[in-house]
């Protein structure tokens, strides 16, 4: 099967050449820089959204090698590296971007995102503080909430999470983050409510399902909640609940949940088997 992204590039190039040929300028079209043809086809945006992150990195690295000072290529490579989970490598590019006359507030917000991914919270906070308060975007408030969390400024975090939730049509991830914040504070009921809201918004978000089980288990509610789940997810959630029960001293309940997890999983559930064996060894010892 051919590469769909490269097919777009080739098609864009053919269309551009054909259009020039119809105007009697075929010779000039033949000398067109492929990078400029790509720009005309909005391929930069495609690479930053639907393309495979590593493919996008290669594309922007190649483009930047041809035009090292072009801001859209610096920006594109930095953002693609973050998408490819290579945020540390993106740092120098963002620094270069900040020195460019075309830098935007969104660039600073994206840089703050990259810094948070490398756990450089102070630097991330500095970048967000440089963004005018009039810039009110979902991403900005989501990051502000995470930084407030890191500083244990809970009221401020709650305020930012609430604003961020209202600025997006897909709030599941930010609701999950907010719920996890409540979980770490020991507000288990508040966390449970937020995880349920996150799952209501996105029933495929397994992280929220697992976090919900943790929040309920912290309240000694070990029965699985009534939420959409596959058989494999059910087994994994039973495993989470079982471990939580054991850690809280409810070993019999935990043993039962681990056994149920092993029976439920469509394949051999090695993690649950090992945990159950360890529990039984400790009891017999």
- Residue 127 region by backbone torsions, left for phi larger than 0, else alpha for psi between -120 and 50, else beta: alpha
The domains of the chain are located at: 44-103, 230-285
For residues 12-22, give the mean pLDDT. 39
Q: What percent of the chain has pLDDT over 90?
A: 72
Burial 113-141 (b: 16+ CB within 10 A, else e): bbbbeeebbeebbebbeebeeeeeebbbb
Q: What percent of the chain has pLDDT over 70?
A: 83
pLDDT, tens digit, 9 for 90 and up, residues 203-250: 999 999 999 999 999 999 999 999 999 999 999 999 999 999 999 999
Q: Assess contact for 261 and 272: CB atoms under 8 A.
A: yes
Whole-angstrom CA distances from 16 to 8, 10, 21, 23, 278 are: 12, 10, 9, 11, 66
Which pLDDT belongs to residue 36?
52
Residue 13: which of 32, 29, 37, 31 has the closest Cα?
37
Q: Within a 10 A sphere around the Cβ of 228, how many other Cβ atoms?
A: 10
The residues, any chain, with a CB within 8 Å of residue 67's CB and separated by 6 or more, are 35, 73
The residues, any chain, with a CB within 8 Å of residue 227's CB and separated by 6 or more, are 196, 199, 203, 209, 212
Which pLDDT belongs to residue 3?
52
Fold of the 44-103 domain: 1.25.40
Cα separation, 244 vs 246, whole angstroms:
5
Q: Assess contact for 113 and 143: CB atoms under 8 A.
A: yes
Q: How confident is the model at residue 280 (pLDDT cuts 50, 70, 90)?
A: confident
């Amino acid at each position: 099967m051919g590469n769909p992204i490269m097919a777009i590039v080739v098609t864009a190039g053919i269309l551009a050449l054909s259009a020039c040929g119809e105007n009697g300028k075929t010779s000039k079209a033949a000398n067109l820089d492929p990078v400029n043809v790509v720009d005309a086809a909005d391929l930069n945006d495609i690479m930053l959204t639907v393309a495979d992150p590593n493919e996008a990195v290669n594309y922007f690295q190649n483009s930047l090698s041809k035009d090292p000072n072009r801001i859209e290529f610096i920006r594109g490579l930095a953002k693609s590296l973050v998408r490819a989970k290579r945020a540390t490598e993106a740092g120098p590019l963002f620094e270069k971007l900040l020195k460019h006359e075309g830098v935007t507030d969104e660039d600073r917000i994206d840089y703050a995102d990259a810094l948070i991914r490398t756990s450089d919270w102070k630097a991330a906070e500095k970048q967000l503080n440089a963004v005018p308060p009039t810039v009110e975007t979902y991403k900005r408030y989501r990051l502000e909430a995470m930084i407030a969390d890191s500083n244990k400024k809970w009221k401020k975090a709650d305020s930012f999470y609430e604003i961020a939730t209202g600025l997006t049509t897909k709030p599941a991830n930010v609701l999950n983050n907010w719920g996890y914040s409540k979980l770490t504070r020991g507000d288990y009921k508040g966390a449970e409510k937020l995880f349920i809201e996150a799952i209501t918004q996105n029933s495929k978000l397994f992280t929220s399902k697992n976090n919900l089980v943790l929040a309920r288990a912290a309240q000694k509610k070990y029965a699985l909640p009534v939420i959409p789940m596959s058989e494999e997810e059910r087994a994994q959630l039973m495993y989470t609940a079982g471990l939580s029960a054991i850690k809280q001293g409810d070993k019999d309940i935990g043993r039962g949940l681990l056994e149920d997890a092993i029976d439920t999983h469509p394949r051999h559930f090695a993690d649950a088997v090992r945990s159950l064996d360890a529990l039984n060894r400790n009891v017999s010892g």
